[in-house]
Amino acid sequence: MTRAVTALGLMSGTSLDGIDLALLKTDGAAEIDFMRDGFVAYAPELRALLRGVLDAAADWPTAQLKNPDDWPSQLKEAAAAVTQAHIAAVEGFLEPDSAPALIGFHGQTISHRPAEGFTLQIGDGQALAAATGSDLVGQFRLNDMRHGGQGAPLAPLFHAALAGEARPQAVLNLGGVGNITWLGADDAMLAFDTGPANALIDDW
């Protein structure tokens, strides 16, 4: 059996409200022991900065976004601010001398263009790993694309671990964008986005 490790998951979604944190012990497949969770709101200034970057990013060419050296100054500023916000959130959440073995770092989505095989989540994972002393895993969406996926949705793997042997089962996830996971009795898995969800509630 795979050894269980303590892991800290970080998520900042399209609502731009802040950073969700979840500390758990897991073997990465089926065993999940929830320890505690938290939320740290983005400062109003950071939310405004990210909103401006998201609006502007629609007009930035993919080739420019692929190379951080070519990023507009506004995007570089946002990336640095997101990194510092995550470092502060983790340091405030963890108890002294309790660094997890692993941190899962999503970053803040700025551009998602599956038709071009491109997605961009900003935030410096190396800086976060150095600040916390934990191993770090990131670039989930980009790696999914590199293996033939569209970079979304990502929640189905977690849904499968939660479901265990209780199948067939369907899970509706209402994030900024809604998605459905279908878990078949034969271990088949199907997942797809359904359209806007909390993103519209946040905006209107």
**Structure confidence by residue, pLDDT tens digits, 139-156:** 999 999 999 888 988 888
- Domains (range + CATH), the chain: 5-148 (3.30.420.40), 153-204 (no CATH)
Q: Does 203 score more than 90 pLDDT?
A: no
pLDDT band at 50 (very low <50, low <70, confident <90, very high): very high
Structure confidence at residue 201 (pLDDT) = 76
Q: Does 104 score more than 90 pLDDT?
A: yes
Name every residue whose Cβ is closer than 8 Å to that of residue 130 and which is 6 or more positions away in sequence. Answer: none
Q: Does 4 score more than 70 pLDDT?
A: yes
For residue 182, what are the β-bridge partners?
170, 190
Structure confidence at residue 105 (pLDDT) = 98
Pairing of strands 18-26, 32-41: antiparallel
Q: Does 64 score more than 90 pLDDT?
A: yes
**What pTM was estimated for this model as a whole?**
0.88
> What angle, rounded to 10 degrees, do the helices at 73-93 and 125-132 form?
30
Structure confidence at residue 24 (pLDDT) = 94
Q: Which two tokens stand for residue 109?
A: 């989505």
Count CB neighbours of 25 within 10 A. Answer: 15
pLDDT tens sequence across 77-97: 999 999 999 999 999 999 988
Q: DSSP letters along the chain, please?
A: -PPPEEEEEEEE-TT-SEEEEEEEEE-SSS-EEEEEEEEEEPPHHHHHHHHHHHHHHTTS-HHHHH-GGGS-HHHHHHHHHHHHHHHHHHHHHSPTT---SEEEEEEEEEEEEGGGTEEEEES-HHHHHHHHTSEEEE-HHHHHHHTTS-S---THHHHHHHHTT--SEEEEEESSEEEEEEE-TTS-EEEEEEEE-HHHHHH-
Structure confidence at residue 175 (pLDDT) = 82
Q: Does 176 score more than 70 pLDDT?
A: yes
- Please state which of the ranges 27-31, 46-50, 188-192 shows the lowest mean pLDDT: 27-31
Single-letter amino acid, residue 86? H
> What angle, rounded to 10 degrees, do the helices at 73-93 and 44-57 form?
140
Mean pLDDT, rounded, of the chain: 92
Residue 157 to residue 173: CA distance in whole angstroms? 12
Residue 155 to residue 181: CA distance in whole angstroms? 8
